[in-house]
Amino acid sequence: MSATHKVFLVDLRNHGKSPHSQEFNYAVMAEDVLELLQDAEVPQANVLGHSMGGKVAMTLATAYPEVVDKLIVVDIAPKQYPPHHQQIFAGFKSVSLSEIKSRGEADQQMMKVIANAGIRQFILKNLDRDEQKGFKWKLNLAAIEAGASQVGAGLSNSAVFNGETLFVSGGNSDYIKTEDHALIYHHFANAKIETISGAGHWVHAEKPKDLLETLHQFLNAD
């Protein structure tokens, strides 16, 4: 995307290299993005988010519509989702950070609870060296797990955004179902819904070329 657009790739609070905080919900994460736009002197932006990031993007657009030009939400609906990341949390907790000497050892420990190698590698992207050359998690695992129920929350019934909006679902994913379309249009009256066939929930990782083509078509349309 950076070949044709100025791109800000955001680590949300408690993730990556962004600050840790015990306050973890969509309202404060949307305010973080708003503050970033203000600090960068970007009065209006196209905003793209996947999964939890998609909920943040929806919250930003409905709370501060003046800063969002076009909104893109990848494989998440504005509805409430039950807690469903228990296996991911178990994967993090299966690794004894004080004992491991390498990422390979962490992977071996995690293999006991997560068989899927792709999911393990996704989790292990959060592994980092600490000041003593040992290992630590980049993310604030305790705060994220404590806020899991709030991360599953849907948009309030009154939240609306009338700007151009694109929802992209993975054809093999059940995050956006046909019965969710009415709710999407309730919140986003000017929405389009596209499906990337052959993709699961991780659309950008599984079908990157198809997703990029879909994004460019939407962003370049008058």
Residues 72-120 have pLDDT tens digits of 999 999 999 987 778 889 999 999 999 999 999 999 999 999 998 888 9
Q: Does the reported pTM lie above 0.85?
A: yes
Task: Return d(Cα 206, Cα 175) in angstroms, integer.
Answer: 16
CA dihedral (73, 185, 144, 207) positive or negative: negative
User: Strand 165-170's sheet: what is its strand order?
Assistant: 45-50, 68-74, 165-170, 191-196
**15: annotated active-site residue:** no
Q: For 51-65, write each residue's pLDDT tens digit.
A: 999 999 999 999 999
**201: annotated active-site residue:** yes
Catalytic residue among 169, 173, 187, 201: 201
Q: For 141-187, write each residue's pLDDT tens digit.
A: 999 988 888 888 999 999 999 999 999 999 999 999 999 999 999 99
Catalytic residue among 51, 169, 187, 204: 51
